[in-house]
Structure 1
């Protein structure tokens, strides 16, 4: 299927590594010009070079932009830089966050400061980016916003999971507000995905449970119906579809991309 994405422009936060980089690769392969946004220039430049090598000469342009999504002025400047350099802005992928969240302990040891930082970066950070891109998308009567949530928003495992519940609410509310102007807003909840960050989480869980990191991984695999860890490009494929004109009928949805690990029934 031709996703009809060539010539579109995307703004991907958290784009210097992990899922953000994988999403940028898939979009660029479809001919999208991609601004990858993160806080550190060195990592951004490395990611931009790596993406260009993977995508090749026929893919979209890659524009690295340094910005902190906890700063509204910096977000607005990054959006304006994207529009002035690449000509327009059609797609926002919100992915900047602490992987797994900062508050994963029992309530007695939980940090209020850590929780506030989680919410400021992921919830309010996503809000800032949506606020900055909305006027551009409204003017052109077209836009796609894809928020990266997390499965902890569909369960009660970690306190930091509340940020993913808030993102689902933000997604649904904005889908109502922006839909009349041709803008769709969706959130995806990735499962266990093969990234450097997941191995950090394996190590933390291994120490907590008194087992090896390999055993932690195998325990996840055993309870996942497809019996494997997801690959980053699988998330990229879904995002590319949701970012395309072909997905115009899908908005306000929370989609689990998790290999079936979520056992809840969502009507």
Structure 2
């Protein structure tokens, strides 16, 4: 399928590893030039070089802290000046799993504020800065990486993902007339460096081995396995394309069926 993405420009926050890196590689393979964003310049530049060498498409390292409005605005302006446009924004910069512990006795209000500042307000900062450039081109795709904790009550950190869904719907109303769509992807259990930290924590709490925790996640997933980052990237790729022009304001789970709720 021709996704008509060649020549477009994307910004991917949290693009140096995990799902963000997989999305960057998928976009680059379609001929999309990408600016990847994270706080640490070293790993960012290393990732940019590696993907540029692999795909032959320019990947720009654009260090910025998404909790700083001035840095976000300057970063978007720099990317637009460098590439001449911004067509796609993938918001993925966040603390994996969140900073808020599940039990109220252990919950840190300051951690909650930091989580929301980075993942919710950070997404909004990036969307606001990118939308100005997208409006100028009459085309835009904003893809927010959420999380399944927003669809259940097990994790207090899920409230940040609920907020992202609300913001996504509100922005889809505002930006739709300008040719800009806004959607959320909720990844399931995905094979990333972070997931092994989660296995270790869960193993300690449950008196199991990390391998047993992973096996239990697979057991309750209808496709009976953990997902790969490229499977999230494939959905992001479609949502970023002109083919997805009629999809906006939606929350899409890519989770192997692990979600048990029914969402109409």
Q: Report the equivalent of 2:213.
A: 216
Between Structure 1 and Structure 2, how many residues are aligned? 264
Q: Which moved more, 1:7-16 or 1:104-113?
A: 104-113
Q: Report the equivalent of 2:172.
A: 175
Matched, 1:265 2:262: yes
Q: Report the equivalent of 1:129.
A: 126
Instruction: Name the SS for the 1:66 alignment partner.
Output: coil
Q: Report the equivalent of 1:162.
A: 159
C-alpha deviation, 1:50, in angstroms: 2.3
Matched, 1:80 2:77: yes
2:250 aligned residue (246, 250, 253): 253
Mapped partners of 1:137, 1:67: distance in 2? 20
Q: Report the equivalent of 2:192.
A: 195
Query: Are the aligned partners of 2:221 and 2:257 in contact in 1 as well (CA < 8 Å)?
Result: yes
Mapped partners of 1:35, 1:101: distance in 2? 25
Alignment of 1:212-251 (within 5 A): 212-251=209-248
C-alpha deviation, 1:47, in angstroms: 1.1
Instruction: Name the SS for the 1:129 alignment partner.
Output: helix
Give the TM-score taking structure 1 as reference length: 0.97
Matched, 1:25 2:25: yes
C-alpha deviation, 1:53, in angstroms: 3.4
C-alpha deviation, 1:48, in angstroms: 1.1
Runs of at least 5 residues in structure 2 that lack an aligned partner in the other structure = none
Aligned-pair RMSD on alpha carbons? 0.8
* Shift >6 Å, 4+ stretches: none
Q: Report the equivalent of 2:48.
A: 48
Matched, 1:115 2:97: no
The one-character-per-residue Cα deviations of 1:121-179 (angstroms, maximum 9, x if unpaired) are 00000000011011111121110000000000000111010000000000000000000
1:103 aligned residue (100, 105, 112): 100
Mapped partners of 1:86, 1:19: distance in 2? 23
C-alpha deviation, 1:105, in angstroms: 2.9
C-alpha deviation, 1:234, in angstroms: 0.8
Give the TM-score taking structure 2 as reference length: 0.99
The one-character-per-residue Cα deviations of 1:51-75 (angstroms, maximum 9, x if unpaired) are 12332x2xx3100011000000000
Q: Report the equivalent of 1:65.
A: 62
Mapped partners of 1:46, 1:199: distance in 2? 23
C-alpha deviation, 1:24, in angstroms: 0.3
Instruction: Name the SS for the 1:226 alignment partner.
Output: coil
